[in-house]
Amino acid sequence: MGGAVARLLTRAVGAVGHATGGLTFSVCYLAAHRSLRMGRVILVILGAGATYDSDSLRPAPRRGMVSGFDPLRPPLTQDLFDTKYGAILQRHPACLRLVPDLRDAVAAGRPIEPELERLRARAQTTHPTLAAALIALRGYLAEVVAKSEADWADGHKGTTNQLTLVARLEEWREPKDERVRFITFNYDRVLEEAVHHVMPELWFGSPQDYIKDARYRIYKLHGSTDWHRRTEIGEIVNGHQQTRVATKAADTFTSDPNAIRRGGWIPAISIPLATKTDSEFECPDEHLDAMKDDLRQVDSIISIGWRGEEEHFMNLWREHRPNQMAGMLSVASTQETAFAVSAKLTSGVRMEAQSIIWFGGFSGLVKGEPPHQPALNLWLGLASR
């Protein structure tokens, strides 16, 4: 993208921010961004905020705003144990013992990740029967996310911000035969559905499908609602009670319901923890190997709704990142988060242009405000299309 387009983007977004008083969009800081080079990879990172703000007709509420609340909106981590999911909790009784402490943490305004980490540590040392509860928690989380995704879809009918994002990326990618790589830390299948709608020949029915096409690959580093992982089952004797728990997970994944029903599989969902290590990657090793190769070829990054707190991924990024990139677009709901993520991902990388910071959220990025073009279109150089 040339300087003229970058200046146009600055004027357009600035005008929108002032015109709306910051209610729909915030004024963003932009710097010049050169055209993406041909033959390389654009990396798109999606965090929880991308699913939370996945419908531009029902944009996520901004900080300090009351409008935008929707009881069907996909949950953030703090909302996963809300009482509205009580019926699902009853179907996973083995994890009931964990919930009071987690709800107490939420009520006290504390994040639940440190509490889950404390419970896991106890399961590994003094209270091994907690391991069964944590395995059951995976099933609960998978069902909560799947139901929330279905409820939210009743409103958007597939017309998500992810769909718009993929459609615009394909407009940019196809003429140059470029490659797009998604890294997501979300369990839901909103992204897969979006890619399939734009590229019907791409279908993500099994874990192997996610990396088999050179044009688009999706790396779901924390697992998926429909993935299960092969495991060995053992028993822990606690007094007169025997508890069957997973003792060792194998690098074998499936989404085949028939195989899952035969037993020996656990939901491939990574439990939210404060300190994330390589053991929290809940995807096949071949995905991680392919991702490492792709990271070395990244030319530009779009980060959406991600806070940059997954240190296990950041370690891989620092080890396999490219030496230089053309640019970065950092999208978040606040300016502080957008700048922080950009700083993390561009540290140690020679940038041909400064990062572009957009803190109007995912909906603001893809929607635009007449007569102004959506910022995403302009960043990709699609302003004339």
Which CATH number is associated with domain 3-66+158-223+284-379? 3.40.50.1220
Residue 21 exposure: Cα atoms within 13 Å on the Cβ side: 2
Q: Is the pLDDT of residue 359 over 90?
A: no
- Residue 92 pLDDT more than 90? yes
Whether 298 and 45 have beta carbons less than 8 Å apart is answered as: no
Residue 319 in this model has a pLDDT that exceeds 80: yes
pLDDT classification of 20: cutoffs 50, 70, 90: very low
The structure's pTM equals: 0.87
Tens of pLDDT, residue by residue over 235-273, are 443 443 444 555 456 789 999 999 988 888 889 999 999
- Residue 131 and residue 271: Cα distance in Å, rounded? 12
pLDDT in tens, 105-150: 999 999 999 999 999 888 888 777 788 899 999 999 999 999 999 9
Residue pLDDT, tens place only, 222-233: 999 999 998 865
